[in-house]
Amino acid sequence: MLDIRVLAHLKVFSTVYLQVAGAVLAAYVAWKLGRIIAAPCRSSLRNLPAPPSPSWLYGNLKELTAAEARPLHESWVEQYGHTLTYKGLFNANVLYTVDTRALNHILSHSADYWKPPAARYGLSTVVGKAFGPAQIRELTDVFVLKAIELADYWKDLISETGEPARVEVIEGLSKMTLDVIGLAGFNYEFDALNVDGKTSELHAAFRVIFGKATNAPSVFSFLRFLFPPLRFIPTPSGRRANRAKAIMRNVGLQLIREKRADITGSASHGEKADKKHVDLESRDLLTLLIKANAGLDIPENQRLSDEDILAQVPTFLVAGHETTSNATAWALYSLAVAPEIQEKLREEAYSLPTENPTMDELQELPYLDAVVRETLRLHAPIPSTLRMAVKDDLIPLNTPFTDVHGQVHDAIKIDKGTTIDVPILQLNTSKVIWGEDAHEFKPDRWEHTPEAAQHVPGVWSNMMTFLGGPRSCIGFRFALVEMKALLFTLIRTFEFELALPKEEIVRQRAAIQRPIVRGEMEKGSQLPMLIKVHKRV
């Protein structure tokens, strides 16, 4: 047995240890808070024009999350100019600019904004090979197949009398695009459109991680971001997410091993992942990525490890699922609001004598192309994104700004660590660039692109939807062809009307721009429509 004096010493030691640990933690928190509080005063952006900050803790963030982004940003630009700053968490300065020269500088110098060049180059080189035009052409039949399955899914919900039925289209579009990215991305069948309600283990995990979106993160999530030690405090949602991530990791690694074994011709003797194969003849993106990674033209120091390849799985899922389903929902919304445009598109779709078009046939439909472009301009799924400077820089401007002291500047001095808000939607709908009708859905505008749009640094169609520069959206061709296949099939099959007045459908201000019903935010993304089967005369 331990001597009583030893126990007393242990008690004293544990008390002292806790006191020291508490003091160290308090000192760390005080140091961190001190840096955060002092940062706005030291920032190189402190003299830029800025809207007033209503809160020391949240800055302007509550304004940004409580309102649709476009009107608020437009009022800022009108009042403070093309280049300004607003306040983020703890009143930290965030650079906001619609100056196309500045944005081109930021996006084209990707090594200076967010990630070092070595890691990014290798990733782009390898992943880009899996998203080339030839690869997407081979996957078009998957897009069309699942679009037809969605049409059948909705037909089952429609009365045989021919009367319009109320359908919440987000649910079906989300299931369809998830099935597409499962097959086209991994040759994995999610079975999301399965009417029996049975789903795979991976689908269940995916719903946990990427389920209902919230409008804004909680205070505790902000604190966890600022103070990493708080991330070790377990939460119920965190435990569920960790279990789901473990499932995604295990299934993902198993798929990678199996595909590599198939590619090298070796037999896999381990247990197969929980999946159903569709005959894609090794056309799925994961197989193409593994093949490209093994190519002789990829230097050894740029090859991706299994962990690197696995890290692309969530990227494939989110990029190929969430953004496309919401973009297509906004397209259907716009077509329902403008029935004459809907009918014009339907007539063009019927000009093809097939229900199973190829990618080339879809690309040759000019009005479908214009509808997709106009949807992605007016309803960019991701309204904005952030960049962080990894070194001090001087950003050139087209339009000089006047600071709070009345001095005019033709460049912005940026400190390392500065956060920059890249205003995708604001640039896409700028009246300076697109004219006074910039907020209207007009596919015909694509017959003559405005001269001012030529200066927008986007990778596609003179808009910012897929960003620009080396870090632009690598899968934009995949998204475009999938969206065209969806609209082609649905517009030939159904007629669409809004089930509510258009004023009742508003944008949820979150990472992805989702339609919601006014006053029903707690129900998540919704777009109720009246749908009936179109009868071709």
Rounded to whole angstroms, the Cα distance separating 66 from 72 reads 10
The structure's pTM equals 0.85
Name which of 317, 326, 332, 375 is nearest 170 in CA terms: 326
Separation between Cα atoms, residue 429 and residue 438, nearest integer Å: 5
Please tell me whether 473 is known to bind a ligand.
Answer: yes
Residue that wins the pLDDT comparison between 111 and 316: 111
Pairing of strands 505-508, 408-414: unpaired
Task: Note whether 96 and 419 are within 8 A (CB).
Answer: no
Question: Between vectors from CA 501 to CA 495 and to CA 507, what angle results, nearest 5°?
Answer: 95
Instruction: Report which of residues 509 and 187 the model is more confident about.
Output: 187
| 72, amino acid identity | L
pLDDT of residue 258: 85
For 97-146, the pLDDT digits (tens) are 999 999 999 999 988 887 434 334 445 555 666 678 888 998 999 999 99
Q: Which residues contact 418 (CB under 8 A, 6 or more apart)?
A: 43, 44, 45, 93, 95, 388, 389
Contact 69, 86 (CB under 8 A): no
Of 83 and 297, the structure prediction assigns the larger pLDDT to 83
Interval 18-27 mean pLDDT: 68
- The CB density around residue 120, as the number of other CB atoms within 10 Å, is 15
Dist. CA 470–CA 459, nearest whole Å: 9
Provide the mean pLDDT of the chain: 84
Statement: residue 266 has pLDDT above 50: no
Binning pLDDT at 50, 70 and 90, where does residue 6 land?
Answer: low
Check residue 409 and give left, alpha or beta (phi > 0: left; psi -120 to 50: alpha): beta
The rounded distance, in Å, linking the Cα atoms of 249 and 207 is: 15
- What's the pLDDT band for 375 if we cut at 50, 70, 90? very high
* Average confidence (pLDDT) over 31-45: 68
State residue 280's pLDDT score.
53
Sole residue written with tokens 């669409």: 496
Q: How far apart are CA 449 and CA 461, in angstroms?
A: 9
Tell me the per-residue pLDDT of 322-362, one tens digit each, with 9 for 90 and over.
Answer: 889 999 999 999 999 999 999 999 999 999 999 999 999 99
If pLDDT is split at 50, 70 and 90, which confidence band does 368 have?
very high
Q: Which residue has the higher pLDDT, 362 or 207?
A: 362
Q: Of 33-37, 41-45, 306-310, 434-438, which one has max mean pLDDT?
A: 434-438
Greater pLDDT, 207 or 336: 336
Weakest-pLDDT range from 242-251, 310-319, 336-345: 310-319
Tokens linked to 269: 């003797």
Predicted confidence band at 269 (pLDDT cuts at 50, 70, 90)?
Answer: very low
Please indicate whether residue 497 or residue 162 has the higher confidence score (pLDDT).
497
Q: What pLDDT, on the 0 to 100 scale, is given for residue 399?
A: 96
Return d(Cα 314, Cα 206) in angstroms, integer: 9
> Could you tell me where the beta strands, DSSP code E, fall in 347-467?
385-388, 393-402, 408-414, 419-422
**Residues paired with 269 in a beta bridge:** none
Model confidence band, residue 161 (pLDDT cutoffs 50, 70, 90): low
- Indicate if the pLDDT at residue 284 is higher than 80: yes
* Mean pLDDT, residues 407-429: 95
Q: What is the pLDDT of residue 276?
A: 46
Evaluate if residue 264 carries a pLDDT over 50.
yes
Query: For the chain, how many residues are written?
Result: 537
